Structure formats: structure tokens, C-alpha cells
Structure 1
Amino acid sequence: MKVLLRLMKYLRPSTKWVVLSLSLLILGTLIDLIAPWLLKEVFDNGIAKKNTSVILGLTLALAGIQVIKSFAMFLQGRSQELVGQNVVFTLRKQMYEHLQKLSFSYYDKAKTGQLMSRMTGDIEAVKNFIGFGALNMVGGLLTFIGTIIFMVIMQWQVTLLSMSTIPLLVFILFRFNKKVGPAWGQIREQMGRLTTTLQENISGIRVVKAFAREQAEQVKFEKRNDENFDTNMERAKLEAKAFPMMGFYGGLTFLIMIWLGAYYVAKGQMTLGTFMAFQWYTWGIIWPLNMLGWQINIMQQAIKAAPRVFEVVDTPIDISDPANGGIASAPIKGNVTFEHVSFHFADQDQEKEEGILQDILLDVREGEIIAVLGATGSGKSSLIALMSRFYDVSEGRVLIDGVDVRDYELDGLRRKIGIVPQETFLFSASIRENIAYGVPEATQEQIEWAATKAQIHTYIESMPFGYDTLIGERGVGLSGGQRQRVALARAILMDPPILVLDEATASVDTATESAIHEELLEVMKGRTTFIIAQRLSSVKRADRIIVLDQGKVVQQGTHKELFEQDGFFRNLFEMQEAASVG
């Protein structure tokens, strides 16, 4: 009931259309109730009395109200669809906006396929009930009650006796509603898993083919597909049991009414017109109850789908602007301080397990170039992520220009930190749009300047459509190195006071890397720069090198100072020197 009440709140913006739909529904229901009564009058006051004028008048009246009903149904259908689409629009907008506000910690656990299933199929199920099922249930109820009232007024004995099978029909509906709800819950969940499997396979198709795992992936998908098929068949079995029985009892009601009606007409206790009207009215009892089975289906889909949508919408936003709106970030210069910073993931036991970062003390001056080295899993990327508030520190503070990053206005803070991530992502758009993603108003000259600094301008110019060349999803159509350089140009174009290069040249050859670093010298001038790298060639121009190991700063100094010490840096230097000689 709570789910239904919450869904009804989404009807408020469309109140006038709901009222219009309901009014037209009531009008259509009244016409359906009046029509059999007019038929009764045709027989009793027209045919029985051989009054042709009454027959003609009542027939024309029947035709007229049917025209009115048809027009009302047209308007009602349009209004209902508008209400449903407004609900879908609002729900999708609300869910998408909320997804944009959720932090990295949410996406670390969330499955893309599940989110896609909720954004599409689940919201569509809600729309079907709100825009169609709910109002039709109301219409069915009004028709059922109104029909009984009209029939009782005309001939109450036949009415009550004919309805003797209705309790059995209602009992079947009750049992069906009780069982079909859990079935639809399983179907919605399994559809999410099926979508997740499909999404992962398409996203990782290169890995699948590289390891010749097509058959294994097909087996995995078939398993999910079989589970979905079996659950749908279980739900279909429930329908196959319930709907024929409902049809049987409905037909039995009709047969009882014919037998009793004919008997009462023969005894002179019921007119022929009333008997004819009762045949029409009987469907006003049977049809709403039979249709209720389908409407219960629609309702249960919505009841099981809506919580999956609300689960996303209700997820707390753990990283957001301060209550006062935050400090404007326009004057940021680039002084960065890590003050006894520790970081644990939200689900990590901070007392039993060591964190990703532990008691980091680091002071970076404006314009300084800092290289961050360390083995995989040492916490290099996490250190940088805390600066942009992709995550919040567990202990300590990260300060930029002496201000805690949690006190800055969030969007403004992130616009001041240009990041070239380790995992390059490009959108399905033109190269121009990808480079200008952070600065959509950038001129062609500015875009070309950034591309030149990233050593990608010449290649783009050689393409058939230049900067207007469309690239596929995730940058398909470009090599790994080219994608990285486009991402580098995207960060450079933002002209941020703080620049982060997270393995930004890992996918390019050493000659291109050297050329990029020569161009970056001018870009990095006067800009605080963090370089996360594995190759020492990437960090030789750094003012200072920070070495992380298991979340702690174990070495810190210049290239020369660290080379003179035993430790990770010199070991890495010697390994790379040996590799280059070999």
C-alpha cells in the first residue's frame, strides 16, 4: 500500500488530466449503464406496444450516446496516456538526476545492467499501471457497482440469484493476486540480471574474444535466459489456472441469468425488455471481474518494479555541497595539503583492516610538479580521488589553498582539477565534442591548441572529417594511445590550476611520450601537477617524487635524492634500466 500511495504522488503535476480522464470515465460508465435501460424501453414501450415512433426515438438515442461514448473514450485514452508519460518522464528525470549526484562509492558496487533495467523496464511497468491499469480498475469497479444497482432496481430476485457464482470468482482473483505478486518480483529481478549479463558481455567483447570464451559467455547468458523463461512460465501457469476458471464462472453467471430470466418472463414476473437488458447488464458484472485479472497483473508488475526504482532514488547522497552552498572556487591557486589523511572504503572494517591510505602528510606548493609512484594497490589513484572529492577522507583533511575540500562548492572544485584518468573513456560523439566536453563553449582555435599540446592534432587533421569525425562508444575507432591523447587534450582545454595525469601516457610509445612531456612543460608551468606513473621517464621532470607503499608515504624527495636511497624508487629504476638495455 505504501508503494501505491507513493506512486500516486507522481500524479499531482497531472491533476487536471487525471480529473479529465476520471470525468470521461464516469461519463462512459453512465452511458454503459443507460444503454441497456434504453434497450428495455425499446422492447417494453416500443415493440410490445407497436409504437414505431418510440422505437425510432430510442434507437436514435442509443446511437447518439454511443457516438458520445466513442468521443469520450478517445479523449480519455489521450488523457490517460499523457498522465502515464508524465509519470515516466518525472521518474526517469528524478532517477537520472539522482544517479548523477551519487558518489564513486555507489558505482563501485552498482551493476550497470541492473540500473539500465530499472531505468527502462521497471519504469515502463509503473507507467502501464499509473497511465492505464489504475484508472481502468476504477472504471471496472464503477461499472460493477452501477450494474448491480440498475439490475436490483429492475428485478432484484433474478439479480441476486444470478450473482451466486460471483463469490467464487472473487476468491479466484484473491488467490491469483496473492501468488502473482512474488512471481512478478522474481521476473523483475531476473530481468535485471539478464540485462547485466548482456551489458557485461557487450562491454567486454574484446576480452571475451581474446580468450576465446564466446561459448562460456553464451552458456552464462543461456542460464540467465532459462531462469527468466522458467519464472515467466510459472507466472503464465498461474494465469492459465486462474483466467479460464474466471471465464467459466463468468459464463455460468450468464447462463443462470438466462435461465432465471426466461423463467421469470414465462411466469409474468419480468418483462421481455428487462430480460434483454439483463443480458447486456450481465457483462457489466462479468467483464470487470475478468478484466480485473489482467489489471492485477499490471498492478503487481508496478508494485514489484517501483521499489527497485525507489531504491535508487532513495540512496543517500554521501558527497554533496556544504549546507551553506560552499565556497566559490574561482580564486584557487593550487596549494594542496594532505593533513593526516586516512581513507577506508565505506564497507571496510576500520578497526580490523588497514585502509587504502594511512596518515598521509603532504604539502604541495602552487605550481609544483609532484610525481606519485608505487606498486599496484598502493593507493596512488585514491590519493588523487580525495582531492576532487570523488570520495571523502575517513580521517584528516585535504586542503586546497588552506580550505578543506569539503567546504568548496562541489562542481566548481572539480572544474578546477583537470584529470586524465587511467581508464580513458570517450563518448559516442565527434572528436571535437569529446575534447570540448569540459568546456563546451571552447573555440576551434582553443580545441586545436589543446590537441597540439596532447600530440594528437596532426592525426586528427589527417582523418577524413577532421575534428568532426565521429568515434564509437568508449572511443572505438582510435587506438589506446590516441584515446589517451584525446583525454589529455580534454583536460588541458579546461585550463585548470591543478592538473592530474593518472598514467596519462601509459598507452603511448616512448617517443610520443617524450614529445608529449616536452609540450606539457609549457602547460604545467605555473600549474600544480600530479603525475601518477610507472615509467620513470614520465617523472624525471618532477620537482618532487612521492613513493607510496600499502597506503603510506615511504619515500619522498627529488629524483637524485631517491636514487641515492635504497627502496622502491631505486629498485624500479634499476629494473627499467635493465629492461631497456636488454
Structure 2
Amino acid sequence: MRLRWQFIRSPALPESAQWSRLLGYLRPYRGWMIVAVVAMVIGAALGLVMPLAIGQMVNLITGDQTLPIGRIAVLLGGVAVGQTVAGLIQNYSLTFVGERVVADLRLAAYQHLQRLDLAFFEQRRTGEITSRITNDVTLIQSTVTTNLTTLLQGMIQLIGAIALMIVVSWQLSALALVLVPTLVLIAVFFGRWLRRISTTVQDRLADATSILEETVSGVRVVRSFGREPYEVERFRTAVEATFAAAMRRAWVRALFQPSMSLAVWATIIGMLVVGGYLVSTGELTPGNLVAFLFYAGIVAGSMGAFAGLFGQVQEALGAVARVFELLDQQPAVADAPDAIPLPPVQGRVEFRNVSFAYQRVENGHTAPIVLRNFSLVIEPGEMVALVGPSGAGKSTIVSLIPRFYDVQDGSVLIDGYDVRRVQMQSLRTQIGIVPQETLLFSGSIRDNIRYGRLDADDAEIEAAARMANAHEFICQLPEGYDTPVGERGVRLSGGQRQRIAIARAILKNPRILILDEATSSLDSESERLVQEALERLMVGRTSIIIAHRLSTIRRADRIAVIVAGELMEIGTHRELLTRGGIYARLYELQFRDPAPVLAVG
């Protein structure tokens, strides 16, 4: 089956709409931005005074100025100090705003991820999602702060410098302004090119990040198959693709700046020639020529900054589109507008004519239906086991109870409440799940057990561990309950991880319990300890068990046999054996051959 790994593309927002949305993240910090802008305006204005003071100094040296040198020196020193202080205030304010915007964007993206349904994560690579929250958000940082004030500062300096240039010499000003349309054309051409290439760079970087995440999380599989060289080569290919895209971007940037510089220097040389002639004829003083050249440099610098800024913005807009594309993903499973909190339940679970298919793509066609008109009622406190061939739909059935997915037809009800009509948080807090592959979070054993109820105290955590047959092995660890479990719990054995998961479920104290092959892949001693813990956990709860080993479900109140998404048989262990149907054949096959050819998990 080929899954759609890519993000579902939503219609691209116009650039103006993207900018408006991005600038919305600045609003909470507009006070800091005002401080930065005021400091920037003061610094820009002082920068325009500096060339005049330098020109007066030159005129003094050449005998064309009678202003005392001390006064000129004080003016120059005051301008320099003022610019330094203004720059300090501006840079600190912008850094604060930039870091806050990045933090807010990352938090908004992460919060949105927590609202998305499981299908979203099943169809996308973890590295791709991670890249959008880390690399892309970082690329946006300068766009909403430094680039914005650079634009404003450049506008002030450009307008002020052009006005003063005209005052000093209109002839040279006319020559200088020839540069403007040339710079605009160069900036537009290269800017659009840079945007396309930068988006490609981010995509290739996301591919490399995905491979890195997969191989780190699956390091045991890589080691067991001896695939280190293969993974290195796969990662090298992705890194080289990123490098090639980055070098194409570097080549465009390398062409961009020299092209701008060539246009700027051609105009400066022309101004020097014409300005020298005007000085020789007495139409312009040497000091005014020097001041004019400084202003021309400010104009050229501002235009060059605009060009560079335009290129950076085009690059960032690709990252902006990727981040907003993530934020615009809509969950397929969400609370209805009129959803109500689910009150404390007794634990009656009903599947009423349920049909379901995963929304995946296989050779361009929707995957086949997994459940067909499936109906089953589980009474409060009852223990029901689900058995059947692999792919029969057992895991799908239990996934519909906490509403990890929504049914296409029919309904799933808990105590008569349709799960689609209640708030998911109130639903899931009353359901406990112990899966086959237990995931523990990096941190201590205490933290992982407390995850079942965050306000639990140490005594309650220890009590849950005792019920889960985990207290004894925990106390034998060097740091006891404070022992770090490692990423995904790699420092613990499978049986130990499973007992920690059971303790976590005990602490949660759910009314409905789902056990998805919770004792498979364990050795006999670990299975015994886990089974004892599970029996304590199931007392007084509605329990739904997916079992691989039929010996573990003999005491179930009822056993439901699922084949191809349909309920084929249901009854007690003895009843089903007496009937001699599918369950009897599965049971005979499993206990006749210790390595059954037909999996029932």
C-alpha cells in the first residue's frame, strides 16, 4: 500500500494575505516594535546628519568653510554616540520580538498538531513535520522583525538622502536616480528565482531530517539487519540533494549581489567624473561633493539592502507557506460544535451497524472497507475478547471507541452517547489503553506512571506500581522510581515497559479498558507477571481484549470472532469450542502446533 506522505495542499494564499497573517504574530509585542522603530528612526536621521558634518569638515580643510573645527568635532561625536545608543536599543528590541514570535509560532504549530487526528500522522513523515516546526520557523524569524525595520530604515534613509542630494546638486542627483529602475528589475528577477530555489532547499532538508529521525528511532532494526551502510548511503543521498539545492541557491545569490554592485559602482564612477568637473568649474565645493557621495552611498546601500531584503523575503515566503500549510490542516476527527461533555460512564459499549474504511490511497483508489455492518454490545463490567485472523479489523474496532477515527456508517455508543456527539477529551479520559508496543517517554519511571494522572502523589504512584507487579523491579534499579527510562523506554525490558504502562493505566482508573495484545512477545515469566497485573486492572471495568494467545482469554465473559470485518461468532470459550466453528479451528490449530500458521492477533 502506498500512502500519501505529502501534506494535503490547500489553495495558496496570496502573498499579501500571508504577510497580513504573519504580521499578526507581531501584534502582542507592538510596544517593543514601537521602541525599535523609534530607535531606528533616530538612528536613520542621525545617519543623514553625518555626511553634512563630514562635508563641512572637508570645506574647512580646503578653506571653503569658517565654522569652528571644535563645533564640527562635537557634532560628529554626538552623531556617532547617538547612532550607537539607538542601534543598541533597536537590536535588543528586535531580538526580543523575533525570539518571541518564533516561540509563539512553534507553540501554535505544536498545539495544532495535538488537535490533528491520527490519520494525519500516519500519512506523513515525522521528520517532515519536525522540519516545519524547527527549520522553517527559524527562517521566518528575521522576516517579521529585522527585515521589517530594515525596510523602514532604508525607506527613511533613501527618501532623506535623495532629498539632500537634490539640495546639494540636482545635476548629480539626476544621474544617480538612473540607478533606481535597474535595481528594481534586478531585484524582482533574482528574488522570484531565489524563492523557488529556497523552497526546494527546505523540502530537501525535510527529507534528510525524516531519514535521520527514522534511523535514530529505529536504530535496533538497523543494527539487527546490519543496514548501517545502506542507511548511511540513503542519508548521504538526501544530504547531497540538500547540498545541490543549497549550491543552486548560493549561485543565484552570488549572481545577485555582483549584479547589484555593478549597477551601483557604474553610477558612482559616473558621479565622480561629473562631480569632479563641477568642482573644477566652481559650481560645487569639495565638501559638498564629498557629502553628495556619502548620500549617494546611502541611497546605493539602501537600494542594495532592498534588493537583498527582497531576496530574503522571497526565501522566507516559501517557509511561511509551509508553516501555514501545517497550521491550515484541518483534523478529520474533531469535536462537533454542539458536542457535550461525556458524564461519568458505567461502561456500556455498543457498535451499531458500523462500516469503516481508512482514508488511504492505493494505486489511486481508496482502500477497501475494513468493517461492514458490524454490530456488538458490551455490557458494563464485561470482559470481551476479540480474536480472528490478522487484518480482520480487531485493532480498528478498538480504535473507534476512543474516536481515533470516525465511522463512515453506523455509530459507536458509550452508555447510549454517540461518541461523535461528545467532547473527545471527556471521552478519552474514561478510556484506558495498554497496547502491544508500549511507548514510554524519556524521563523517569515516576514521570511515566504519573502520566496516567498528573496530580497523583508518590504514594498513589507506588500503589499503582505494586498493583502492576512493577514495584519490586523498580526498587532494584539504582535510582528506583527516579531511574531514567531512556528514549521510548529502551533501558527497560519489554515486560518491564508493559508493567509500567499497566501502572499508568491503573493510576488513570478508566471505566473502559482496551488491551491490544498486551502480553504478546513476552517471555513466560514476564507474561505471568503482566497477566496478573492485567487481571487486577480489569476488575470492575469494561474490558476489551485483543488476544494473540487464546490461552489468555479463556476466562473472558464472551469471545467475539472477527473475520474480514464481520462478527462471525460470539460466546464463551466453552460454547465456541462446542460449536466446532471458526474459533474451535483456531484453538485446535494453535494448541496442536506451538508455532501456528494462522495468526489470531
| Cα displacement (A) at 1:214 | 1.3
Could you say which residue in structure 1 is the equivalent of 2:10?
A: none
| Cα displacement (A) at 1:163 | 3.9
Structure 1 residue 504 corresponds to structure 2 residue 521 = no
Judged with a 3 Å threshold, the aligned counterparts in structure 2 of structure 1 residues 364 and 216 are, in CA distance, closer, same or farther, namely same
Could you say which residue in structure 1 is the equivalent of 2:38?
A: 23
CA displacement 1:209-232 (0-9 Å, x = unmatched): 211111111111111111111111
Could you say which residue in structure 2 is the equivalent of 1:532?
A: 546
The DSSP-based 3-state class of the residue aligned with 1:564 is helix
Could you say which residue in structure 1 is the equivalent of 2:3?
A: none
Could you say which residue in structure 2 is the equivalent of 1:344?
A: 357
The DSSP-based 3-state class of the residue aligned with 1:199 is helix
Judged with a 3 Å threshold, the aligned counterparts in structure 2 of structure 1 residues 469 and 156 are, in CA distance, closer, same or farther, namely same
CA displacement 1:354-410 (0-9 Å, x = unmatched): 411111111111110000112221111111111101111111111111111122221
Which range moved further: 453-462 or 164-173? Answer: 164-173
Could you say which residue in structure 1 is the equivalent of 2:8?
A: none
Structure 1 residue 287 corresponds to structure 2 residue 301 = yes
The DSSP-based 3-state class of the residue aligned with 1:250 is helix
Q: Find the aligned partners of 1:530 and 1:385 in 2 and give their Cα distance.
A: 11
CA contact (8 A) 2:359 2:367 kept: no
Could you say which residue in structure 1 is the equivalent of 2:379?
A: 365
CA contact (8 A) 1:113 1:197 kept: yes
Specify the code of the residue in structure 2 equivalent to 1:101: R
Structure 1 residue 11 corresponds to structure 2 residue 17 = no
CA contact (8 A) 2:194 2:315 kept: no
CA displacement 1:448-492 (0-9 Å, x = unmatched): 232223222211111111111001111011112221221122112
Specify the code of the residue in structure 2 equivalent to 1:504: A
> Quick one: which of 64, 80, 83 aligns to 1:66?
80
Could you say which residue in structure 2 is the equivalent of 1:267?
A: 281
CA contact (8 A) 1:481 1:507 kept: no
Q: How do 1:296-335 and structure 2 match up within 5 A? A: 296-329=310-343, 331-335=344-348
CA contact (8 A) 1:455 1:512 kept: no
Could you say which residue in structure 2 is the equivalent of 1:383?
A: 397
TM-score by length of 2: 0.92
Which range moved further: 112-121 or 454-463? Answer: 454-463
Structure 1 residue 108 corresponds to structure 2 residue 122 = yes
Q: How do 1:210-249 and structure 2 match up within 5 A? A: 210-249=224-263
CA displacement 1:184-213 (0-9 Å, x = unmatched): 110111111111111111111111121111
CA contact (8 A) 1:42 1:54 kept: no
Judged with a 3 Å threshold, the aligned counterparts in structure 2 of structure 1 residues 323 and 167 are, in CA distance, closer, same or farther, namely closer
Judged with a 3 Å threshold, the aligned counterparts in structure 2 of structure 1 residues 504 and 28 are, in CA distance, closer, same or farther, namely same
Q: Find the aligned partners of 1:227 and 1:301 in 2 and give their Cα distance.
A: 18
| Cα displacement (A) at 1:294 | 3.0
Specify the code of the residue in structure 1 equivalent to 2:350: T
Which range moved further: 292-301 or 490-499? Answer: 292-301
| Cα displacement (A) at 1:524 | 1.8
Q: Find the aligned partners of 2:453 and 2:176 in 1 and give their Cα distance.
A: 74
Q: Find the aligned partners of 1:409 and 1:293 in 2 and give their Cα distance.
A: 51
Structure 1 residue 140 corresponds to structure 2 residue 154 = yes
The root-mean-square deviation of aligned C-alpha atoms, in Å, is 2.1
Could you say which residue in structure 2 is the equivalent of 1:48?
A: 63
Q: How many residues align?
A: 580
Q: Find the aligned partners of 1:50 and 1:520 in 2 and give their Cα distance.
A: 97
The DSSP-based 3-state class of the residue aligned with 2:593 is helix
Could you say which residue in structure 1 is the equivalent of 2:474?
A: 460
Could you say which residue in structure 1 is the equivalent of 2:134?
A: 120
CA displacement 1:153-178 (0-9 Å, x = unmatched): 11100121244344333332222112
> Quick one: which of 555, 568, 580 aligns to 1:554?
568
| Cα displacement (A) at 1:557 | 0.7
> Quick one: which of 70, 79, 83 aligns to 2:93?
79
Judged with a 3 Å threshold, the aligned counterparts in structure 2 of structure 1 residues 163 and 512 are, in CA distance, closer, same or farther, namely closer
| Cα displacement (A) at 1:567 | 3.6
Specify the code of the residue in structure 1 equivalent to 2:57: V
Judged with a 3 Å threshold, the aligned counterparts in structure 2 of structure 1 residues 493 and 245 are, in CA distance, closer, same or farther, namely same
> Quick one: which of 154, 158, 165 aligns to 2:172?
158
Q: Find the aligned partners of 1:545 and 1:419 in 2 and give their Cα distance.
A: 19
CA displacement 1:432-454 (0-9 Å, x = unmatched): 11111021222323222322232
CA displacement 1:238-273 (0-9 Å, x = unmatched): 112221222222222222222211110110111122
Q: Find the aligned partners of 1:152 and 1:227 in 2 and give their Cα distance.
A: 51
Share of identical aligned residues, percent?
36
Q: Find the aligned partners of 2:330 and 2:238 in 1 and give their Cα distance.
A: 31
Structure 1 residue 98 corresponds to structure 2 residue 112 = yes
Structure 1 residue 517 corresponds to structure 2 residue 558 = no
Which range moved further: 121-130 or 23-32? Answer: 23-32
